[in-house]
Structure 1
Amino acid sequence: MKIHDIFRPQRDAVVSKWIEAVYATYPLETTGFLRTRKDPFTNPVGDMTHEAAGRLFDAVSGEDTDPRTVRTAIDRFVRLRAVQKMTPSQAIGVFFLLKPIMREILLPLCAGDKARAAYLNAESRLDSIVLLAFDMYTEARETLAESRITEIRSQYAQVVRWAQTVDGSPVSGKS
């Protein structure tokens, strides 16, 4: 029996449980909204979470390891959480929520040395995804910080230009 034969039938159960664990990281008033709204336009966070969780589970299980697909799925989680008021551990911790769920649902099904080794490889893929997610999160936060700095500089320049138009201003060209 291949590891895919163990992981594939459990995919929906694992992904659903993981999504619920991710939703639990949000404040209570947000969690209800995330769970009940299925429209991607009214609930982009829920839509992104559903899409990314399924793709990342496929990557962890070894079914879809295309680097672009994996990066895109990670990016869906990371960019969203980078702009929210979360610590890095809260933002990246959602990936670690998958591990206990896998241990609860999948590990008991992995009898035998080969299946157990394949399961451990899946956990190693998850660890690699977490490291990549951390790099991507850091990059997203740096981009966000640079955007904020640019915005502040622009606002400062506007204030200086306005101040220069005011008579008697210390920054005006008139005395």
Structure 2
Amino acid sequence: MDVDAVAWVRWATVGAGGHVARRTSAWWERLVAAREGRAPQPLVHAVLEVVVDGVAMDVDMGPTWGRTRGTRRVVLSGPVGSRWLGWCALFRYELRVVDAGRRPPGVLEVGDELRLPADVLALLADVPAYTWGRDEAAVGEMWTSNSVVSWLLERAGVRGVEPPRGYRAPGWAAGARVARR
């Protein structure tokens, strides 16, 4: 594969754009931390910005009901929480490629520049549509938007990208584990 695309992982605080996500994520993290016997940590959401032939695009996953304005290409859609709830738009997510001009609120950190194959976005066709919030792949961690970004980086041959120090990115390890299969 030719390496002629560049990318950055942008880490945004979970829920920076809305009260529901911020509150439910904080509640969920407190429960998980108590179960694991550790202190709760702030959560982050990864967005992969890819530049190919001078065109910047973001690879992101979010609810279908919170559609991103502007040009977007939906790659796949999947259920949230439970497959049987997936019939309802409130319980569905979409994996999308969006023009990179719109930045999500709460961006904490932008990772180092990554060199990727020019056809990296073609890999998105192979992303599994697992249920968000479940460990259907049996890899020890739930599938999330973070899983998709780490899955894509792993498939593109990029290793060593980690969430910012002091933050947790639920699902990050799941994506890499599934991609290695």
**TM-score, normalisation: structure 2:** 0.27
Higher relative contact order (CA 8 A, sep 6+): 2
The TM-score, its normalising length taken from structure 1, stands at 0.27
Higher strand share: 2
Please identify which structure carries the higher helix content.
Answer: 1
